[in-house]
A and B are shown apart, each in its own frame.
Chain A
Amino acid sequence: MNDSPAAAIEFVNVTYRISGNRTLISDLNLSVRRGETLMLLGRSGSGKTTTLKLINRLVSQSEGKVLVDGRSTTDWDVIQLRRHIGYAIQEAGLFPHYTVEENVALVPRLERWDAERVTARVREVLQLVGLPYDEYARRYPDQLSGGQRQRVGLARALAADPEILLMDEPFGALDPITRAELQHEFLELRKTLSKTIVFVTHDVAEALMLGDRIALIDSGKLKGIFAPGEFLRSPDESVQPYVNAFRATQQILNSGA
């Protein structure tokens, strides 16, 4: 994909309204660089998940354009678009009637890879997320812990080797220790895979730790895009509450030490 445009994903004047004329996203302009991890940070109901879903057309914008690899998502065949983009969500959304292997193999199978290649790939991605194939491939989702399910969700999203990965609070439902573990592994993983990642979170610390850049979204509007360092120093009044909350936590921790 050397001839592809610099932006992997681009929002051009995107507005999304639902019935009753409620505007969830208004006039969004945002460009996601190829290979970066962009965090969409915002409070509950700010429109960050909706923004994510506009990328793989789980929802369709009312106005404006969303470009994926330089092509408007409305010009893509929607099935092709979605198979081209990995998607990992909170609670993983694993298929309970499929084994770990069947879950991970789904998109490669739909894409008609041959059986050997599918098995090899399942082995590879399970290894990548720290679940040895021989131990986990035959298990069902309800035989896994929350953290393991989330790993399988990530493996499934990576299975067809998509260049773009969308993650919607993937670590949101995990206990703090497992979450920290997965966050660190995510950072390691990101180094080895050159993916464009859009990651939704409401957790400032997570955004600062995992993101190359942070896009702050509030009430359906983009308030700015910051590198983690800039974010902490920003005088912007919409950034302040987040930074204050983050600092307050740190202070409590420091004073306790």
Chain B
Amino acid sequence: MKKYKALKQERMPFNWCPGCGINIIALKLSEFLEKNDYTNKNTAIISGIGCSGRFAGYFNMDTMHTTHGRAIPTAEGLKLVNPNLNVIVVCGDGDLLSIGLNHTIHSSRRNADIKVICLNNSIYAMTGGQTSPTTQKGWITQTSPNGNKYESINAYKIICKPFNRFFARITPLSRELFEKSLYEAFSRKSFSFIEVVLPCYENDFRRNGSRNPSLALKLFTEKYKDVGYTENLKNNEIGIIKNHGNKR
């Protein structure tokens, strides 16, 4: 772990469960920040609530763990008064697409120059596995024992369609794509949204029959096809939407 200088060594190990992809994202983000000289002098991380909420506290910079769904407005206020600061928001799907969806859409409308990483595990994991707005139709959770009755939200359409903001979708195992999308996001002066699709083994896949955390993560990511730079993303594809968001 010593080589990850952007992480607080005294906070290790991470508190996330086996089979969760958030730890990989944290390590990759730390590598990216260190490689590109994003330090505590020019970068801050704001997070929301839940498993993703703990993300900010592991980083060696000024960070804040806000209330549920309100990381985006906090980050936008911070960025407005401190325009030279790179502001990263790390939140879950509940934060960004349910309780804070209003803020996601409006900050995207105002084109706030913040880099949003959405850790989308399609479930409320910290509270024990309830249906989230990204839970697939038919999927069994603690609050939909007979299968989820409703359609799920697609973040790609919310970010890309109305205002053409930068969007990328990755998985924890698509490391190169994550680095590329971070690079693209940081080179833009635009609201940028990176959706990380990941499984929640403990609250979701284990209950639905899976018995091996690392295998579940592997099988989960294999469902997604890497299409690289593209103009359209289908539900089972990961990639980067090109020509979206104003360049610096």
Judge: A and B partners, yes or no: no
